Structure 1
């Protein structure tokens, strides 16, 4: 019976393939950005340039946290979900992005793109302001540092924080 070889004791290089196998087992791979085309069934209204600039700044700081969802095509991949992240990654100058590859029929692409957008629960402005205050108070960050870390302008962070000083009826509006 041959002994099973372990990555332990053989250096970091021996463990890297194990990490790559684990990522692939979970369905996340790195795909060349140039090989991905947009979803022609994108349900989201046109994406504002300022939103893309802010997201690109966040991606430059933190990378892409949530992988894009794609399907295979003859020439590469087509987006199912994540067009804002895809466009912002291009703007940020990335060459590859994390993706989850799903085998879907063209008729399912709009459905999946719509479900992905409907399932997302974005923070409301008050929740966003509370999170900014928490970063400032608990971690000693300045408004400028918060802005850089979340990919927003300092003015946007400052204006959002002002909500915390508003009356309760204004906050709940």
Structure 2
């Protein structure tokens, strides 16, 4: 009995080779020979039900369909044999081309058939979205997180296989630490990735995000506001000291004499201030007359 555990496939070189066909285009001058492709009737090709990308921009599909009508599908789809239907195939990479080809009323498509497991299909689908689709920053960050959580890949391996810097991947992943409301602004395009990254260390990122959207703040302005020290929050006002009975009685006497609200605030053993409140100029004149008559 063979108890040897199966060797885990590393992302780097293994996946790079797996994706080579999907990203190879005839315009590349030094491209290696492409694996043999075949043509399959379009009705025998089905999308991957676990495809993480659920929405496809209609205008972009129309643009691609127009190109396909003129030049055909230049880049073949990567497919695998359908796990439950004979003579049918499931898309691994290229669903956007498949959708556009249907709009362009193509009858068959060029494909490269690969033998892939369900796990590998999902992995390739996620990475193809990162490389090919017009993802917003949050979708990109979620794709990185899914690759790391589901397949155990590190930031270094992702950077190597996706031809991106490790700092880029790290910065995108930090966006997932933002509150949900701020992430919604980012997903809807109301905030840029630069705005959102500047808010990560802010004392109140939600309020800052709302102000940024309503006032149209620049990234530099957001960075400046986010850098305010955390101890800069206004201190609660000190509770006023209770007044003694003599002071309250004197306030009442003055208020009765003037017909106005009078407040006495002591600031020491023998000092303080008297505040007389008035509602309009007539009441102010009354105060002035009372002070003049007191001379």
TM-score normalised by the shorter chain: which range applies?
0.5 to 0.7
Which residue of structure 1 aligns with residue 43 of structure 2? 34
> Which of 102, 108, 133 lines up with 1:96 in the alignment?
108
Write the distance in 2 (CA, Å) between the matches of 1:120 and 1:46: 14
Higher RCO (CA < 8 A, seq sep 6+): 1
Which residue of structure 2 aligns with residue 109 of structure 1? 121
**Distance change >3 Å, CA 120–CA 50, structure 1 → 2:** closer
Write the distance in 1 (CA, Å) between the matches of 2:53 and 2:133: 15
* Residue deviations 1:91-149 (CA, integer Å, cap 9, x gap): 10111000011111112211011122323498xxxxxxxxxxxxxxxxxxxxxxxxxxx
Write the distance in 2 (CA, Å) between the matches of 1:47 and 1:82: 12
Which residue of structure 2 aligns with residue 159 of structure 1? none
The alpha-carbon deviation at position 34 of structure 1 amounts to: 0.3
**Distance change >3 Å, CA 102–CA 47, structure 1 → 2:** same
Matched, 1:66 2:78: no
Alignment of 1:78-157 (within 5 A): 78-120=90-132
Unpaired segments ≥5 residues, structure 2: 1-33, 135-295
Write the distance in 1 (CA, Å) between the matches of 2:128 and 2:91: 12
Write the distance in 2 (CA, Å) between the matches of 1:121 and 1:65: 18
The alpha-carbon deviation at position 81 of structure 1 amounts to: 0.8
Q: What SS does the aligned partner of 1:43 have?
A: coil
Matched, 1:77 2:89: yes
Aligned length, in residue pairs:
98
Which residue of structure 1 aligns with residue 268 of structure 2? none
Alignment of 1:153-164 (within 5 A): none
**Distance change >3 Å, CA 120–CA 47, structure 1 → 2:** closer
Unpaired segments ≥5 residues, structure 1: 1-24, 123-173
Write the distance in 2 (CA, Å) between the matches of 1:98 and 1:40: 21
RMSD: 1.8
Q: What SS does the aligned partner of 1:44 have?
A: coil
Which residue of structure 2 aligns with residue 53 of structure 1? 62
Q: What SS does the aligned partner of 1:103 have?
A: coil
Work out which of the two has the higher radius of gyration on C-alpha atoms and give 1 or 2: 2
Q: What SS does the aligned partner of 1:39 have?
A: coil
